[in-house]
């Protein structure tokens, strides 16, 4: 039986954000529709909290928290994303074709966030299990207190990369301006090359895994050391 793919288009210059998000939450039919959103014009909270295997294409630049709390959906932004894109994502895939502002993928639990351009400060802050692939560079304090998940950075990182990391792992191809407290560069093992290769392939990027370094927690902050004079 041929599967019918319905296509729905909303123009945010004509339809309110609330109506669009209502449709995405409540009015999806049993088929797998492809939804296109035109003229986002920097609107906040677009396609947030989705929970269906649907494809959403956003044709332009978005405001804060686009695709946050996403479950299952594949959301592509053909433009730049504002603060907190894919924040707290649980599963699914979010792809930013332009650059992402601060706190991209903050505290995301699962799924994949791909940013073709640069990500600003605090990318992957408090990451809890999602994967992030950044085609460009990331700003300072990226992966701060990241607990689980993987971040692949094809460009450079700003100051304090991976400060107070838990068990998330960072792979970076370019220069690190400075490492954060308790973050250290570690040797790449076979499993690391494989991970990087897989994530790059999922993101559609063709860099060589051999060019990446691994940054992970030295785990010195896991236990309070009263003799350390708080020098960390």
Assess 67 for contact with another protein (CB under 8 A): no
Question: Is 102 near another protein (CB under 8 A)?
Answer: yes
Shortest distance (Å) from residue 41 CB to another protein = 4
CB burial string 201-224: b at 16+ within 10 A, e below: eebebeeebeebbbbbbeeebeee
DSSP codes joined into one string, 16-57 = -HHHHHHHHHH---SS--EEEEE--TT-SSTTTT-BSS-EEE
Shortest spacing between CB 87 and another protein, in angstroms: 15
* 84 φ, ψ (degrees, to nearest 5): 70, 40
Measured over the CA atoms of residue 158, residue 155, residue 166 and residue 103, the dihedral's sign is: positive
Candidates 98-106, 162-170, 174-182, 223-231: pick the segment binding another protein (CB under 8 A).
Answer: 98-106
Angle made by CA atoms 175, 125, 135, in degrees to the nearest 5: 45
Does residue number 11 form part of the binding site for another protein (CB under 8 A)?
A: no
- Binding segment (CB under 8 A) for another protein, from list 18-26, 126-134, 136-144, 166-174: 136-144
Closest contact distance (angstroms) between CB of 42 and another protein is: 3
The verdict on 167 binding another protein (CB under 8 A) reads no
Contact residues for another protein, defined by CB under 8 A? 39, 41-44, 60-61, 63-64, 80, 82-83, 98-99, 101-102, 120-121, 139-141
């Amino acid at each position: 039986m041929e599967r019918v793919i319905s296509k729905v288009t909303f123009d945010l210059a004509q339809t309110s954000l609330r109506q669009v998000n209502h449709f995405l939450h409540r009015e999806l039919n049993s088929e797998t529709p492809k939804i296109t959103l035109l003229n986002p014009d920097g609107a906040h909270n677009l396609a947030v909290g989705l929970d269906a295997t649907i494809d959403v294409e956003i044709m332009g630049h978005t405001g804060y928290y686009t695709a946050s709390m996403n479950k299952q959906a594949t959301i592509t932004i053909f433009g730049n994303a504002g603060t907190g894109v894919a924040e707290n994502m649980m599963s699914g895939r979010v792809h930013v074709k332009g650059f992402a502002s601060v706190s991209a993928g903050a505290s995301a639990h699962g799924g994949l966030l791909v940013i073709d351009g640069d990500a600003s400060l605090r990318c992957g802050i408090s990451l809890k299990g999602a994967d992030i692939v950044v085609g460009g560079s990331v700003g300072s304090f990226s992966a701060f207190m990241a607990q689980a998940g993987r971040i692949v950075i094809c460009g450079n990182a700003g100051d304090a990369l991976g400060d107070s990391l838990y068990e998330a792992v960072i792979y970076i191809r370019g220069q690190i301006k400075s490492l954060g407290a308790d973050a250290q560069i570690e040797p790449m093992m076979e499993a690391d090359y494989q991970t990087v290769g897989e994530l790059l392939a999922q993101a559609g990027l063709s860099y060589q895994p051999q060019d990446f370094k691994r940054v992970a927690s030295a785990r010195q902050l896991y236990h309070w050391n009263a003799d350390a004079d708080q020098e960390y």
